[in-house]
Each structure stands twice: as C-alpha cells, then as structure tokens.
Amino acid sequence: MIPVTLAQVVADCNATTAGETPPDVAREQISSLTADTRTVSGGEVFAAIKGARVDGAELAGAALSAGARAVVTSDPSTAVASGADPARVIVVDDVEKAIGALARANLQRARAEGNPDLKVVAVTGSVGKTTVKDLLASLVESRGPVIAPPGSFNNELGLPITVLRTDAGTATLVLEMGADRIGNIDYLTSIAPPDASAVLIVARAHLGEFGGIDNVGRAKSELVTGTREGGAVVLNADDPRVAAMAGLAHGPVLTFSARGEGDVAARNIDVGADGRASFTLVTPDGEADVKLRLVGEHHVANALAAAALAHSLGIPTAQIASTLSAVGAASPHRMDVFEAGAATVIDDSYNANPDSMRAGLAALERLGRGRRKVAVLGEMLELGEASAPEHEAIGKAAAQAGVASLVAVGEEARPLASAAEAEGVDATWVAGPEGALRELDAALAAGDVVLVKGSNGSGVWKVADSLREEKK
C-alpha cells in the first residue's frame, strides 16, 4: 500500500469519524490494511468485518492497542464500547465496499505516483484460473516486483485486499476474479481495471446461483468489458462461448488453443507416464518446447493462457517456455502428486465442478496405468437442480476411467456412489472426510494411485492433508 494519512483514508472511504479527529492524528500515516488483529504490527487500518463467529467491531479497541492507527466499521457504537478512540473510528455504511474504495484509490495512486509501467493482469474462468494466475506470476517476474493473491483470493474481499498490497515498486499486479452471480466481476474490475485479461472457459460451475450456463458466460464476459481501453484480451479459441466474447473487447484480442488453432497454441502434445504434458509452444513470435511439471493434460490449456498473457506483455517466447517448464504447483491442493507410504496420491481437492472432475479422473487414469486406481470424490456443490444427474455422470466417468475403489463424500455425492456401483465399481458413500479416511485405511494397498477431489465445502482436502501428514 502506498502510505497515506488517516485523513486521506477517511476521504477515500467517503466517510466520517465517530469523534473529532485532532490534526496530528489526521496526519498520521497508514501503511497497510488488515482484517485480523493477530497481524497488527503498527501503522495499519483495521477493517472491522462482521463474520459468522467474530464481530470485528468488538475487536476495534484491541486492534488500536496493538498499534493500528484507525478502524473502519459500520458499527461505531460497538467499536467505541470495545475501547476504541472515537477520533480513530472511521464510520462507513459497508466495510467491504469501503475496502474496495481504499483499494481503488491505492491502485490509482500506484499508477500515477508509483511505477508508470505498472500492469494489472486479471484472469477468470470456471476452471483453471488459480493455476493460470500462479503460472503468470512466475512468467512476469522478469518485469520486476509482482503482487499476486495467495490461493483463490478472488472475491469482493480477497481481491481488494490483494490490490492494497500494491505499492510504488510494483511492476505487475496479477489478479484472479471469481464470480457466483452476474455483476461480481463488474464490481471487481471497477476496483482494478486490467491492462490485460484472460477468460479461460465457461463451464458448469455455480449453476444453482447463476441459473444456467449462459448466465455463467455472461458473468465471465464482464472481465472483457471491464478491461481498460486498448488492453489486450486473451480468449480460449476452443470454447465457443469464450471465443464469442471477442466482439466485446476494447482492444486487441489474442486467442489460445490446445487444439493448435489459436494465436498462441500447442502442437505435438505428448503426455508421459508421469501424467505431465510436453508440447511445442507456438506464439506470433516463434516456437519453443515446453515440458510441464504440472500433472494432467488439461494444464496445457492453462499454460497457453498464461503464455498468451505473458506474450501480450512483451515477454519472449523462449523465456515463456523456459519458465513454464520450471514452475510447479504454487497453490495447495491443485494437482499435487506425492507419495504416501507405498501409495501415490493426486491431491486436487481444493474445488470441483463436473468438468474439473473429469480432468482429475483423466489424470488418475493416465498416472494409474497398470496400478489399482482409487478415488475419493467429494460432492460438487452449487449445481442446483443439475446436482443429481451431474453426480451420476461422474460416477459413470469414474468407472470408465478404470477406478476400482471409490469413496463418495457428502450428501449430494450419494448419486455418484450409486452410479459408480451400478457400473461395477466397489463404491462406498460416507457423510464426511472422517468416514473417507476410515474407508481408505481399510482399503488402501501398496502400489495404489489415489485421486482426492471435491468441492472445498465437501472437506475432502482434509483427507489429502491427512495422507500428506502420513508421508512425513
């Protein structure tokens, strides 16, 4: 964050304070924002967010005592009652919107007063955006200091907090933009309009919230319309819904294709016995060979999207290929392959939808050739009325992938277990991750390859974490 005065924070939030602020307090410098009192070290503005278990306003006094210089809250009475100095209590209608306003102002200052070559690059899509974000963050390191969010910090709170990390030295701000309803990405781009952006794929995720896949596409297209005038837009030529967004762009369009049909394309794709793909990267500037460290053929498309964005920023093809060949999984629970005892585990448990489930099963099929294949598949959440048939389809897909033993986790995964069992798979349904671990303890044998995958809310990542602990 570019340091500003307390008075400027009040102005950025279009706010007031709960008490009269003396001039010397108003001039104090604010250097960062936090929503966690445990991270206060001095000079912060504390965002008093009301959570499910903790009301940040009740911690306002503690935050100031720990060294924070101000508190942003929509509940000044509670904040003052907690011991906060009214002169340091910034009163807003909506704390999350205030954080967004602070982030917007910070980025504007970084562009105007910081690095004139600062580039904001954003990624969205139903599948793959975190992987592309992680790859891109490595690809743009040659430009100078990079700010990128940890994991999937991509919503109305996570994105502005990431943007607030931008300072005068930042060369590239890499952002991931998620959505579970129309308008989400419009709001995020109003905070951080990108200089270059990419839409990866429109898939069957959050169908319950969106009301259909066409609305998913409409939501993702907001990134195209939210890109700055003249900014490059990268689109997946292999997805008709994404390719059709080209007409919405305000600047040059660059396509990518794992089928070899885009401006940035992969040719001669070969997937080894280790599940890792190699290919020839083709860009408008030339060709270079890539050998991915990421497991799964679906990562070819992710690598191409990152490559296309890097190309739009002027990074040479040979450098792009070299970096892609060197970078592994940066975020947890995303196609992380490790040994647990005598078994091999594919941990792709961060999240899931029907398309990513199939990609995970394809990776299991390839990596598990000649070995017994086991799958722990958590429920795919937020599918609405499509939940039962989509889970049934994944149960059948598991059988087709050669899964011998399957544990389905969570209420919505019952049809998955039933469909797999009907196809001849030794399938079991359990209510939660603890039950899945008990089933694995009883069934897992030396030489097995295990896929752990499901929506984050299914908790199957706990299974992967437990297996990883056993490794240690």
Q: What is the CATH number of the domain that holds 89?
A: 3.40.1390.10
Q: Say whether both 57 and 110 belong to one domain.
A: no
DSSP 288: E
Q: What is the pLDDT of residue 471?
A: 54
pLDDT-above-90 percentage for the chain: 82
Find the mean pLDDT for residues 418-427.
Answer: 97
Specify whether 351 is located in the same domain as 272.
Answer: no
Q: What number is the average pLDDT over the span 411-439?
A: 96
Distance, C-alpha 100 to centroid of its chain: 18
User: Is residue 290 a part of any domain in this protein?
Assistant: yes
Q: In the prediction, which pLDDT does 210 show?
A: 60
Which of 299, 326, 353 corresponds to the end of one domain?
Answer: 326
Question: Are 417 and 294 members of one domain?
Answer: no
Mean per-residue pLDDT for 178-187?
Answer: 92
- Contact by Cβ (8 Å): 281, 289: yes
Q: What percent of the chain has pLDDT over 70?
A: 97
Query: Which pLDDT score, from 0 to 100, does residue 204 have?
Result: 66
Same domain for 312 and 342, yes or no, is no
Residue 106 lies in a domain: yes
> What is d(CA 408, CA 30) in angstroms, rounded to the nearest whole number?
49
State the CATH number of the domain containing residue 284.
3.40.1190.10
Whether residue 270 contacts residue 277, with contact meaning beta carbons closer than 8 Å, is answered with yes
Asked whether residue 188 is domain-assigned, the answer is yes
d(CA 122, CA 392): 34
Residues 120 and 52 in one domain: no
CA distance 44 to 67: 7
Structural domain boundaries, residue 43 = 4-93
What's the chain's length in residues? 472
Angle, to 10 degrees, between the axis of helix 387-400 and the axis of helix 414-422? 40
> Per the domain annotation, does 331 fall within a domain?
no
| Pair (215, 301) in one structural domain | yes
Please tell me the predicted confidence (pLDDT) of residue 469.
83
Task: Compare 296 and 172 and report the one with higher pLDDT.
Answer: 172
Residue 180 falls within a domain, yes or no? Answer: yes
Question: Who wins on pLDDT, 372 or 180?
Answer: 372
Question: What pLDDT is attached to residue 73?
Answer: 98
In a domain, 394, yes or no: yes
Mean pLDDT for 316-324 is: 98
Q: Helix, strand, coil % (nearest 5) of the chain?
A: 40, 25, 35
Question: How many domains does the structure of the chain reveal?
Answer: 3
pLDDT at 66: 96
Q: Are residues 175 and 310 in the same domain?
A: yes
| CATH number of the structural domain spanning residue 440 | 3.90.190.20
pLDDT of res. 206: 55
Residues 138, 233, 228, 225, Cα dihedral to 10°: -130
Question: What is the pLDDT, as a whole number, of residue 78?
Answer: 97
Regarding whether 315 and 441 lie in a shared domain, the answer is no
**Do residue 197 and residue 315 come from a single domain?**
yes
- Model confidence pLDDT, tens digit, residues 247-261: 999 999 999 999 999
Q: Tell me: pLDDT of 150 over 90.
A: no
Same domain, 354 and 256: no
Pair 83, 155 in one domain: no
The residue to which tokens 């986790």 are assigned: 409
Dist CA 97 CA 129 (whole Å): 24
Is 315 among the domain residues?
yes
Split at pLDDT 50, 70, 90, the class of 214 is: confident
Do 74 and 174 sit in the same domain of this protein?
A: no
- Is residue 390 within 8 Å of residue 382, measured between CB atoms? no
pLDDT in tens, 394-403: 999 999 999 9
Q: Which of 278, 305, 326 is the last residue of a domain?
A: 326
Residue 345 pLDDT exceeds 70: yes
Whether residue 157 is predicted with pLDDT greater than 60 in this model: the reply is yes
Cα 448 to Cα 404: distance, rounded to the nearest angstrom: 10
What average pLDDT does the structure give for the chain? Answer: 93
Q: Would you say 122 and 195 are in contact if contact means Cβ atoms under 8 Å apart? A: no
Asked if residue 88 belongs to a domain, the reply is yes
Final residue of a structural domain among 53, 78, 93? 93
**What pLDDT, in 10s, does the model give residues 81-106?**
999 999 999 999 999 999 999 999 99
